[in-house]
């Protein structure tokens, strides 16, 4: 089945376009679908819309190919827009290609209610699917965002055993690729291969698209057994968890081929980061960043895979009057990092013990634990230091592009 611009009909009072709206439980969905959009968009397009009345439907074993051939636009194309509970997407293949700037979402699940109770789009289940999404223009007049799966305030979603590859090209943070964005509670993200790619494989320029494998703001997320990568961009993040009470265990998380790499960022309180392999090939790596209090970081293997310009294994930074406090940093292997094993700025009452820290074997000063004397650090012989002693090159604002090789 081939669908073109002429098959798209106005919805939402004419503010968007759609090919098919599913209202009931019966859903005759083609095995193969090709969508060609040849005109430059001025409206958003939700190709398939599942309304709230279509609870419990299953879409499986479908191959979907979407090609956008119009000009640069600020409009958004979404393949599947869902507002129904208990929808299952199983063993499907989605491909999207564009050589012009356009925003794109593979699946957008919209609950729309910030509550621990029920929302209209709860319990979406995406299993065994492949997303291959590439938006690669050669010029960048607009900001644009490209995402594999975005879950907005719907609870209890499950994403398991999927391959999600999202690529965008750009000249800075205005162009960004996300594998998954989640703001719903109780999400379970397990056993996926997730890659967000910024098209800059040399990793020497700040003037390239940014990437983030998974960005989470939803409470109580379980994140387990994933290969999660941010790669080939001006700034690349593997996992950014800006929520509370999440469990991040047994993953391999990486930021690679980037001038500014942050493999894991913890921005919320009371999370557990344990038993992960967390690596980086960034020339300026903070392999783990902790920006909030009462987090537990234990039994991780934290490793830099490249001779870096600057870098920290674990970088903890609060704010004046709002220190990062009462974290447990214990029994991690932190190896081949450049300047600091653990750096602690504007922190207090954190417990640090049992970590094995080894530097890169290059010239320069290496400090295993940089601290200001307000934390509990077991077995550390280094004297407390002043904030001004911290090497300015380890701040993100100091990172600049390198000349081409």
CA dihedral for 109, 111, 112, 114, sign (positive or negative): negative
CA dihedral for 319, 321, 326, 329, sign (positive or negative): positive
What mean pLDDT is reported for the chain? 93
Q: Per-residue confidence at 292, pLDDT binned at 50, 70, 90?
A: very high
Q: Per-residue confidence at 383, pLDDT binned at 50, 70, 90?
A: confident
Q: What is the pLDDT of residues 100-131, one digit of tens each?
A: 999 999 999 999 888 888 888 999 999 999 99
| Distance in angstroms between the alpha carbons of the first and the last residue of the chain | 47
Predicted local confidence at residue 387, as pLDDT: 77
Rounded to the nearest 10°, the torsion over CA 385, 388, 389, 392 is 140
C-alpha distances (whole Å) from 24 to each of 51, 58, 121, 402 are 8, 12, 15, 56
Cα–Cα distance measured from residue 297 to residue 206, given in angstroms and rounded to the nearest whole number = 29
Q: Of 138, 142, 150, give the one whose Cα is nearest residue 178.
A: 150
Predicted local confidence at residue 109, as pLDDT: 97
DSSP three-state, residue 173: coil
Q: Per-residue confidence at 323, pLDDT binned at 50, 70, 90?
A: very high
DSSP three-state, residue 296: strand
Phi, psi of 389, rounded to the nearest 5 degrees: -80, -15
Q: What is the mean pLDDT of residues 299-318?
A: 93
> Do 229 and 204 touch, CB atoms closer than 8 A?
no
pTM (2 decimals)? 0.95
> Do 355 and 380 touch, CB atoms closer than 8 A?
no
Here the tokens at position 177 are 């690729």
Give the gyration radius of the chain's Cα atoms. Answer: 22
Cα–Cα distance measured from residue 156 to residue 71, given in angstroms and rounded to the nearest whole number = 38
Cα–Cα distance measured from residue 54 to residue 28, given in angstroms and rounded to the nearest whole number = 13
Predicted local confidence at residue 309, as pLDDT: 85
User: Where do runs of H (alpha helix) occur along 61-206?
Assistant: none
Return all residues near 76 (Cβ < 8 A) that are at least 6 apart: 44, 45, 102, 103, 104, 105
Q: Per-residue confidence at 363, pLDDT binned at 50, 70, 90?
A: confident
Chain-centre distance for alpha carbon 295:
19
In the chain, DSSP finds a helix count (H) and a strand count (E) of 0, 42
Q: Per-residue confidence at 26, pLDDT binned at 50, 70, 90?
A: low
Q: Are strands 9-11 and 16-18 parallel, antiparallel or unpaired?
A: antiparallel
Cβ neighbours around 213 below 10 Å, total: 32
Here the tokens at position 225 are 């057994």
Q: What is the mean pLDDT of residues 312-330?
A: 96
C-alpha distances (whole Å) from 401 to each of 280, 312, 376 are 18, 19, 37
Cα–Cα distance measured from residue 196 to residue 214, given in angstroms and rounded to the nearest whole number = 8
Cα–Cα distance measured from residue 11 to residue 21, given in angstroms and rounded to the nearest whole number = 9
Q: Of 243, 199, 193, give the one whose Cα is nearest residue 213.
A: 193
Burial class (CB in 10 A: 0-12, 13-18, 19+), 56: exposed
- Domains assigned to the chain: 2-395 (2.160.20)
Residue 381 pLDDT greater than 70, yes or no: no
Residue 218 pLDDT greater than 70, yes or no: yes
> Do 77 and 67 touch, CB atoms closer than 8 A?
no
Residue 382 pLDDT greater than 80, yes or no: no
Query: What's the full length of the chain, in residues?
Result: 405
DSSP three-state, residue 389: helix
> Do 343 and 372 touch, CB atoms closer than 8 A?
no
Residue 5 pLDDT greater than 80, yes or no: no
> Do 151 and 185 touch, CB atoms closer than 8 A?
no
Residue 322 DSSP code: B
Cα–Cα distance measured from residue 258 to residue 209, given in angstroms and rounded to the nearest whole number = 10
Q: Which residues pair with 233 in a beta bridge?
A: 258
């Amino acid at each position: 089945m081939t669908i073109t611009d002429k098959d798209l009909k106005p919805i939402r009072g004419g503010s968007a376009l759609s090919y098919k709206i599913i209202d009931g439980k019966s859903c005759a969905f083609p095995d193969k679908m090709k969508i060609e959009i040849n005109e430059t968009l001025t409206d958003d397009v939700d190709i398939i819309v599942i309304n709230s009345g279509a609870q419990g439907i299953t879409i499986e074993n479908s191959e979907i190919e979407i090609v956008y051939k119009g000009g640069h636009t600020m409009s958004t194309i979404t393949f599947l827009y869902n507002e129904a509970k208990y929808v299952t997407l199983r063993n499907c293949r989605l491909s999207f290609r564009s050589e012009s700037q356009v925003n794109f979402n593979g699946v957008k699940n919209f609950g729309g209610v910030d509550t621990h109770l029920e929302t209209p789009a709860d319990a979406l289940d995406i299993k065994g699917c492949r997303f291959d999404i590439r938006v690669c223009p050669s010029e960048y007049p607009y900001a644009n965002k490209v995402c594999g799966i975005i879950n907005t305030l719907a609870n209890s979603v499950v994403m398991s055993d999927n391959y999600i590859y999202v690529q965008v090209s750009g000249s800075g943070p205005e162009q960004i690729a996300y594998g998954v964005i989640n703001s719903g509670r109780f999400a379970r993200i397990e056993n996926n291969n997730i890659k967000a790619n910024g098209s800059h494989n040399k990793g020497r320029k700040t003037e390239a698209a940014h990437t983030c494998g998974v960005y989470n703001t939803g409470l109580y997320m379980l994140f387990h057994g994933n290969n999660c990568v941010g790669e080939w961009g001006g700034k690349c993040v593997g996992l950014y968890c800006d929520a509370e009470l999440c469990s991040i265990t047994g993953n391999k998380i990486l930021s690679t081929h980037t001038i500014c790499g942050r493999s894991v960022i913890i921005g919320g309180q009371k999370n557990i980061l344990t038993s992960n392999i967390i690596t980086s090939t960034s020339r300026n790596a903070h392999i783990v960043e902790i920006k909030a209090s009462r987090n537990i970081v234990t039994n991780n293997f934290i490793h830099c895979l490249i001779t870096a310009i600057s870098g920290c294994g674990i970088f903890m930074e609060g704010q004046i009057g709002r220190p990062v406090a009462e974290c447990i940093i214990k029994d991690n292997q932190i190896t081949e990092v450049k300047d600091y094993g653990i750096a602690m700025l504007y922190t207090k009452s954190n417990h640090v013990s049992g970590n094995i820290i080894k530097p890169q074997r290059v010239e320069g000063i290496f400090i295993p634990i940089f601290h200001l004397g307000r934390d509990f650090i077991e077995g550390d012989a280094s004297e407390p230091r002043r904030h001004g002693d911290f090497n300015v090159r380890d701040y993100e604002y100091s990172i600049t592009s390198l000349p081409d090789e």
